[in-house]
Structure 1
Amino acid sequence: MRHKRQNQPIEDKQEDYQFLTTREVAEHLRVHQRTVQRWISLGHLKATKVGPRVWRVRREDLDAFIKTNTSGREEDLRPGDN
């Protein structure tokens, strides 16, 4: 016997995160991509490894990084000096 499907939305427990590549982060901060990779390896910038040598940064983690490491301007970015 077939059951009728109920048209109820499936609640997705995952939040809708926007992930950025290290290149996108570098372009946004106007630094070299290797600088972003260094910040990740030093633990200054939180990121998720999605493959060998491939990292993604959540937009909210980038925003927190900027807020923590600047005096209000992205040009003043100095990780580790805080």
Structure 2
Amino acid sequence: MSERDTVTSMPDRNNTDELLTTGQVAREWQVSVRTIQRYIAAGHIKATRLPSGVARIRRSDAENALNSPAV
């Protein structure tokens, strides 16, 4: 068996680093996408903007925001 034929497993991923769209967070929280956008604009949810301008939210940041008294 050559090195090329050897299958290696991917490292375990930490789901808290998963990037979510505003739509995904909105569905999980059962609110509108606009509400999530407002929370981002107000600084209640930390988000990263892609070069295209769309926001992505780390699952850990969404969970932290959900558990904070400000939201």
Normalization by structure 2: what TM-score? 0.71
Give the 5 Å matches for 1:19-34.
19-34=19-34
> Which of 1 and 2 has higher RCO (CA within 8 Å, sep 6+)?
2
Deviations 1:34-56 (A, max 9, x none): 00001001101100001343000
In the aligned structure 2, how far is the partner of 1:21 from the partner of 1:43? 16
Deviations 1:15-44 (A, max 9, x none): 852000000000000000000001001101
In the aligned structure 2, how far is the partner of 1:42 from the partner of 1:52? 21
Q: 1:57 corresponds to which residue?
A: 57
Q: 1:3 corresponds to which residue?
A: none
Structure 2: runs of 5 or more not aligned: 1-12
Structure 1: runs of 5 or more not aligned: 1-14, 70-77
Superposed structure 1 runs of 4+ greater than 2 Å apart: none
- Say whether 1:47 aligns with 2:47: yes
Is the radius of gyration larger for structure 1 or structure 2?
A: 1
Whichever structure has more helix as a proportion of its residues is 2
What amino acid does structure 2 have at the position aligned with 1:68?
S
Superposed CA RMSD: 1.7
Q: 1:10 corresponds to which residue?
A: none
